[in-house]
Structure 1
Amino acid sequence: MNALVLALIGVAIMLGGYFLYSKYLGSRIYRLNASFRTPAHTLEDGVDYVPTNRYVLWGHHFTSVAGAAPIVGPAIAVIWGWVPAFLWVTIGTVFIAGMHDFGALWASARHRGQSIGTLSGTYIGRNGRNLFLVIIFLLLLMVNAAFAVVIAKLLVSTPTSVIPTWGAVIVALLIGQAIYRLKWNLPLVSLVGVVTLYALMLVGDSLPVTLPETILGLNPNGFWIVVLFLYAGVASLLPVWVLLQPRDYINGLQLFVGLIILYGSVALSLPTLVAPTFNTQLPEGTPSMVPLLFVTIACGAISGFHGLVSSGTSSKQIDKETDERFVGYFGAVGEGLLALGAIIATCAGYQTVTQWREVYSAFGKGGVGAFVEGGSGIIHAGLGLPSSLSATILATMAVLFAATTMDTGVRLQRLVVQEIGGHLGVKLSNITATVTVLVVALALTFSSGGDGSGGLVIWPLFGTTNQLMAALTLCIICIILIRLRRPYRMVLIPMVFVMAVSVWALVIQLGTFYGSGNWMLLTLDVIILVAAVWIIVASVSAMRDAMASPAITDAEFDEATAVTDGVDTHARVQ
């Protein structure tokens, strides 16, 4: 099958979801109100709560939720064939991911920008909230540690990506000043920023940066990991408009241009999908497609991390409630397009199925490396760009996606640590909480040696934990909708499905970890599984209570979730 046909079908399905299904969600389910004063205005502080242009905020949201996961997951999952991966990415994006991200953003903005963890205390109860925070902390720890390792490896394996990666930070700082202090024209600033980033890629392709074998007692991987965490720690303490927003915005534009280059190359080169539609010759040791497909491809179909971003940073920057459809749902569409691009790159970027099988010789093979290798081949064939430059473009895309997610992840984990401290009666400053996050993450990352490979130790639990987080976020949205007597089955059905496959996968992993004698992962798996069952029971009870309690009218909901001129008039909607 020609890859262009698959691309056109996939893009059409996702855009159809945005233009049709998201409008239904916005008007009938979430009932967006343009006159509702968002937390960005009522609680504006110039640091976290900042009213933001919806295009700038979309850039932050899209690049924060995307990361490397929508590349890694699909690039591994195609081992079962490209059809299962394609169906899960497209159907998941339209009916689950978009609804989930949109709903988490709406629910948080309606509750003073509170995180999903805090909302769980309001709608599920204190015990549910505490267990929720444990899962959130572990999920963010997995993301921050693993992404630091992934970025470091790419900077070492593709030294041509070093200059554009760090040059993007300087460009972002300048763009932040141009937009917020100098009030320059946004389209002009955007154009100059994107052109500068791609110019940096040309410079990087000509001037690769290769580190010596030892720097300050660390190998190149370990050195980059330390630098990345120090950078992310500083970035998490700065006001969002200084670095986080402009970096994510300009990266979002640059990355979208990268997707256009990839899809345009597919249209010009017309590559054939050499990977099998359904792979019947699976390598020995490959797990069953069900339920593992649905947790291997998390970001790109449905991801709990998105709910953390929606409720942790994006909800505090929404200018108008009507912007939530564009930021939340279309952000999920952007990630779906990236996941689709990863499927095409890894299934059509090789010349023969034999060559493809050499790459996918075992479960877990592929990943970012296969995306860069396959995608660069397509770009080289379609646009005639040198293979080195093509690889630089895609490697830089992957690094910038992962880096912006890491920026947001460290900030979110700092907020979670402060929230946990608050529940324990300990007030932590931003600096103290950030140092705590960095110490824990670095300790995990270097637990297996100076190369930082320890950051991937608990990564095998990411897919199940991430999907479990998504299901729990859908629980909260569902309870709110039940209280408001609005249609909720389009949330309930995906919630039950994602919850079922997540718990199923956790149980399967228990056997795997026990069989391999991996007691640390086995212990963490048990903790997450017990927390999940506890929260599920609490959520079912909360839903039954919501159905039995008096309905809340839209007017009462508006009043109960209002904050006026910085004065909190919020009433618990229970």
Structure 2
Amino acid sequence: MSAIVILFLGLGGMALAYFLYSKFIAEKVFRLDSKFRTPAHEFEDGIDFVPTNRYVLWGHHFTSVAGAAPIVGPAIAVIWGWLPAFLWVVFGTIFFAGVHDTGALWASVRNRAKSVGALTGDVVGKRARSLFMVVIFLVLLMVNAVFGVVIAGLLMRFPSAVVPVWGAIAVALVIGQLIYRRIIGLALVSLIGVVALYGLIIIGPSMPLQMPDQVAGLPGNAIWILILFGYAAIASLLPVWVLLQPRDYINGLQLFIGLIILYGALVILNPAMVAPMINDNVPAGTPSIIPLLFVTIACGAISGFHGLVAGGTSSKQLDKETDARLVGYFGAVGEGMLALGAILAATAGFASLTDWSAMYDAFGKGGVNAFVEGGAYIISNGLGLPETTAATLLTVMAALFAGTTMDTGLRLQRYIFQEWGEIYQQQWMKKPAMATLLAVGSCLILAFGAGADGSGGLLIWPLFGTTNQLLAGLTLLVVTVMLVRLGRPMWFTLGPLLFLLVMTVLALLTQLRSFYEAGNYFLLVLDIVVLIASILVAMECAAALKRVRRESATKAEG
């Protein structure tokens, strides 16, 4: 089948959903009110609470939730065939991710910009809050530790990307001043930022910077990981308008231009989908497509990490409540578009089925490498760009989005420690510098606890998909309880959450067996902890939902 058909079906479905379904969700379910005073105005402090232009905030939210996951997950999941991955990305974006992201943002804004974990204590109960906060901490720990490994690996493998990746920070600092000081208009600022960013990408191949294999007794990738966490710690303490907002905004524009380049080359080249529609000849050891498909592709279909960003940073910057439709739902659509691009690059970006099969010779293969190599093949042959330049473009895309996710993830982890300080009356934990030190320290302990190369985060990464999707389901539970209390329609959130909880529990049980058979008792114990936490939180939320419905019925009778 032609890749163009898949492209237009996917993009058309997402566009239609934004203009129609998201409007219905915003007006009839969440009933967004432009006159509601948002926390960004109520608690404005110029650091975390900053009323922000909705397009700039969309850029922050979108690039924070995107990261490398919507590339990695879909580019691995196509091992089962491109059709299941395509259907889950499109329908997951429309009916799951868009509703989840908008709902999490609305719920936080309506509750003084509290995180979804802290909000659980008010909506469900203190026991559920404690369990939920543990799940949230695990997700953030995995994301921050592993994305550091991913970026370091990309910088080691593609030294031509070093200048563009780090140069983007300097561009963002300048852009932040131009936007915040209102020196020039947003349109001109955007043009300057994009031109500067792509100028760096063009000169990157001519100025490759290779980290030595060994520095002070540590591997080169470990040095990159330490540098990345040092940078992320500083970034997490800066006011959001200085670096976080402009970096995310420019990266958001860069991604869309990158996708236009990839999609344009695909239309010109018109490659065939060389991978099977349904792969009946998967490599030995590949797990069952159900339920693993729905946790392998998290970001790009639905992801609990999105709820953390919505209730952690985005809700503190929302200028008007009605902006949640663009920021939340269209942020999810943007990530779906990136996941669609990853599927096409990883299935139509190979010359033959033999080449594709060589890449996908085992479960877990593909990922970022398949996206970069397949996408570079499409761009090079479709537009005539040198393959090195095309590969640099796609590598920078992946590294920049992983970097923005790290920036936001570490700030969110700092918020978690500060919220624990508030909950347990530990004043020292509430201080931003101390909370940041705890966040960075926990990530580095995980990263370097298993060896000097800093890749320790990969040890618990197999549990990311299930833990992340569990978090998404539990977030939808909290939103559903709020809707029932307000007498609003609940089926638009209840349906997705039931599906997610069932698939996540099945996936946890499947992984439990595989960890036991492999003798991986560390992951086995961690899997049991997550499984028990998920069951207990689900029971608490179900009891709260039943209690709220009973109270509503009593009021109606009275």
* Normalised-by-shorter TM-score class: over 0.9
Match of 2:452 among 446, 450, 470: 450
Q: Is the 8 A contact 1:513 1:521 kept in 2?
A: yes
Match of 1:11 in 2: 11
Q: Distance in 1 between matches of 2:242 and 2:362?
A: 44
Q: Distance in 1 between matches of 2:154 and 2:550?
A: 54
**What pairs with 1:174-253 in structure 2 (closer than 5 Å)?**
174-253=174-253
Q: Distance in 2 between matches of 1:550 and 1:363?
A: 49
Q: Secondary structure at the match of 2:214?
A: coil
Q: CA deviation at 1:228?
A: 0.3
Q: Distance in 2 between matches of 1:469 and 1:288?
A: 22
Q: CA deviation at 1:217?
A: 2.4
**What pairs with 1:44-83 in structure 2 (closer than 5 Å)?**
44-83=44-83
Match of 1:541 in 2: 543
Q: Which amino acid is the alignment partner of residue 549 of structure 1?
A: E
Q: Distance in 2 between matches of 1:276 and 1:29?
A: 40
Q: Which amino acid is the alignment partner of residue 45 of structure 1?
A: D
Q: Distance in 2 between matches of 1:202 and 1:41?
A: 41
Q: Which amino acid is the alignment partner of residue 135 of structure 1?
A: V
Q: Which amino acid is the alignment partner of residue 221 of structure 1?
A: N
Q: Which amino acid is the alignment partner of residue 264 of structure 2?
A: G
Q: Distance in 1 between matches of 2:432 and 2:488?
A: 39
Match of 1:30 in 2: 30
Q: Which amino acid is the alignment partner of residue 476 of structure 1?
A: V
Q: Is the 8 A contact 1:294 1:501 kept in 2?
A: yes
Q: CA deviation at 1:341?
A: 0.2
Q: CA deviation at 1:448?
A: 2.2
Match of 1:113 in 2: 113
Q: Which amino acid is the alignment partner of residue 131 of structure 1?
A: L
Q: CA deviation at 1:549?
A: 1.2
Q: CA deviation at 1:182?
A: 4.4
Q: Distance in 2 between matches of 1:470 and 1:370?
A: 27
Q: CA deviation at 1:263?
A: 0.6
Q: Distance in 2 between matches of 1:424 and 1:511?
A: 37
**What pairs with 1:131-210 in structure 2 (closer than 5 Å)?**
131-210=131-210
Structure 1 position 345 matched with structure 2 position 371:
no
Q: CA deviation at 1:552?
A: 12
Match of 2:485 in 1: 483
Q: Distance in 1 between matches of 2:5 and 2:263?
A: 11
Match of 2:518 among 516, 519, 539: 516
Q: Distance in 1 between matches of 2:383 and 2:32?
A: 43
Q: Distance in 1 between matches of 2:267 and 2:62?
A: 24
Q: Is the 8 A contact 1:484 1:551 kept in 2?
A: no
Distance 1:552 1:173, change over 3 A: farther
Where structure 1 has 5 or more consecutive residues not aligned to the other structure, the ranges are 554-574
Q: CA deviation at 1:183?
A: 3.2
Q: Percent identity?
A: 59
Match of 1:433 in 2: 435
Q: Distance in 1 between matches of 2:77 and 2:367?
A: 9
Q: Is the 8 A contact 1:34 1:322 kept in 2?
A: yes
Q: Distance in 1 between matches of 2:294 and 2:535?
A: 19
Q: CA deviation at 1:181?
A: 1.9
Q: Distance in 1 between matches of 2:294 and 2:316?
A: 30
CA-to-aligned-CA distance 1:126-161 (integer Å, 9 cap, x gap): 000000000000000000000000000000001110
**What pairs with 1:308-347 in structure 2 (closer than 5 Å)?**
308-347=308-347
TM-score for both structures, normalised by structure 2 = 0.98
Match of 1:468 among 457, 467, 470: 470
Match of 1:104 in 2: 104
Q: Which amino acid is the alignment partner of residue 435 of structure 1?
A: L
CA-to-aligned-CA distance 1:63-111 (integer Å, 9 cap, x gap): 0000000000000000000000000000000000000001100110111
Give the CA RMSD over aligned residues: 1.1
Q: Is the 8 A contact 1:68 1:147 kept in 2?
A: yes
Q: Distance in 1 between matches of 2:56 and 2:118?
A: 26
Structure 1 position 381 matched with structure 2 position 381:
yes
CA-to-aligned-CA distance 1:388-434 (integer Å, 9 cap, x gap): 00000000000001000000000000100111222222122101011
Q: Is the 8 A contact 1:484 1:552 kept in 2?
A: no
CA-to-aligned-CA distance 1:23-53 (integer Å, 9 cap, x gap): 0001100111111111101110111100000
Q: Secondary structure at the match of 1:365?
A: coil
Q: Which amino acid is the alignment partner of residue 445 of structure 1?
A: A
Q: Distance in 1 between matches of 2:337 and 2:512?
A: 33
Q: Is the 8 A contact 1:3 1:344 kept in 2?
A: yes
Q: Which amino acid is the alignment partner of residue 408 of structure 1?
A: T
CA-to-aligned-CA distance 1:344-396 (integer Å, 9 cap, x gap): 00000001111101100000000000100000000001110000000000000
Paired positions, count: 553
Q: Distance in 1 between matches of 2:182 and 2:155?
A: 34
Q: CA deviation at 1:213?
A: 2.1
Is 234-243 or 517-526 further displaced after alignment?
517-526
Q: Secondary structure at the match of 1:549?
A: helix
Q: Secondary structure at the match of 2:156?
A: helix
Q: Distance in 1 between matches of 2:104 and 2:127?
A: 21
**What pairs with 1:234-313 in structure 2 (closer than 5 Å)?**
234-313=234-313
Q: Which amino acid is the alignment partner of residue 431 of structure 1?
A: A
Q: Distance in 1 between matches of 2:311 and 2:506?
A: 27
Q: Secondary structure at the match of 1:550?
A: helix
Where structure 2 has 5 or more consecutive residues not aligned to the other structure, the ranges are none
Distance 1:41 1:450, change over 3 A: same
Q: Which amino acid is the alignment partner of residue 24 of structure 1?
A: F
CA-to-aligned-CA distance 1:159-208 (integer Å, 9 cap, x gap): 11000000000000001111112432110011010000000011111111
Q: Distance in 2 between matches of 1:448 and 1:220?
A: 17
CA-to-aligned-CA distance 1:237-265 (integer Å, 9 cap, x gap): 00000000000001111111101111111
Q: CA deviation at 1:551?
A: 7.6
